[in-house]
Chains A and B, each alone.
Chain A
Amino acid sequence: MSQINTNAGIAKILVAPSVILLALWMIVPLAMTIYFSTLNFNLMIPGGRDFIGFENYYWFFTDPSFIAGILNTLILVGSVLIITVGLGTLIAVLVDNPFPGRGLVRVLLISPFFIMPTVNALIWKNLLMHPVSGLFAWLFRQVGLEPIDWFTDLPMTSIVIIVSWQWLPFAILILMTAMQSMDQEQLEAARMDGAGPLSTFWHITLPHLSRPLVVVIMIETIFLLSIFAEIFTTTSGGPGNQTTNLAYLIYTQALLQFDVGMASAGGIIAVILANIVAVFLIRAVGKSLAEQ
Chain B
Amino acid sequence: MDMHRAKIVKNVSVTIAAWLIALLIFFPIFWMVLTSLKTELNAFSTPPSLFFVPTLENYLVVFERSDYLKFFWNSVVISFGSSILGMLIAVPGAYAMAFYPTERTKGLLLWMLSTKMLPPVGVLVPIYLLFRDTNLLDSKIGLIIIFTLINLPIIVWMVYTYFREVPKDILEAVRMDGAHVWGEIRHVLLPISLGGLSSTFLLSLILSWNEAFWSLNLTTSSAAPLTALIASYSSPEGLFWAKLSAASTLAVAPILIFGWISQKQLVRGLTFGAVK
Contact = CB atoms under 8 A, between A and B. Distances in A.
A225 interface: yes
B162 interface: no
Interface in A109-129: 109-119, 121-128
A109 B44 contact: no
Interface stretch (B51-59, B112-120, B166-174, B193-201): B112-120
Given A25-B149, A94-B17, A33 B123 contact: yes
Interface string A211-239: 11001100100100110110011100000
Contact of B25 (A32, A123, A169): A169
Contacts of B28: 112, 123-124, 127-128, 165
A118 B248 CA distance: 9
A22 B122 CA distance: 15
A228 B68 CA distance: 24
Residue among B14, B117, B129 having the largest count of chain A Cβ atoms under 10 Å: B117
Secondary structure of the B contact surface, majority rule: helix
B276 interface: yes
Secondary structure of the A contact surface, majority rule: helix
Contacts of B99: 11
Given A22-B153, A267-B121, A17 B21 contact: no
Given A94-B21, A118-B231, A165-B28, A285 B100 contact: no
Nearest to B102: A8
Interface stretch (A57-65, A100-108, A199-207): A100-108
Contacts of A289: 106, 109-110, 273
A285 B233 CA distance: 40
Interface of B: 11, 14-15, 17-19, 21-23, 25-26, 28-29, 31-32, 35, 44-48, 89-90, 92-93, 95-97, 99-100, 102, 106, 108-110, 112-130, 149, 152-153, 156, 164, 206, 209-210, 212-213, 216-217, 226-228, 230-231, 233-234, 239, 241, 244-245, 248, 251-252, 255-256, 258-260, 263-264, 266-267, 270-276
Interface of A: 7-8, 10-12, 14-19, 21-22, 25-26, 28-30, 32-33, 36, 91, 94-95, 97, 99-102, 104-119, 121-128, 130, 132-133, 135, 137-138, 141, 165, 168-170, 173-174, 177-178, 181, 211-212, 215-216, 219, 222, 225-226, 228-229, 232-234, 246-247, 250-251, 254-255, 260, 263-264, 266-268, 270-271, 273-275, 277-278, 281-282, 284-286, 288-290, 292
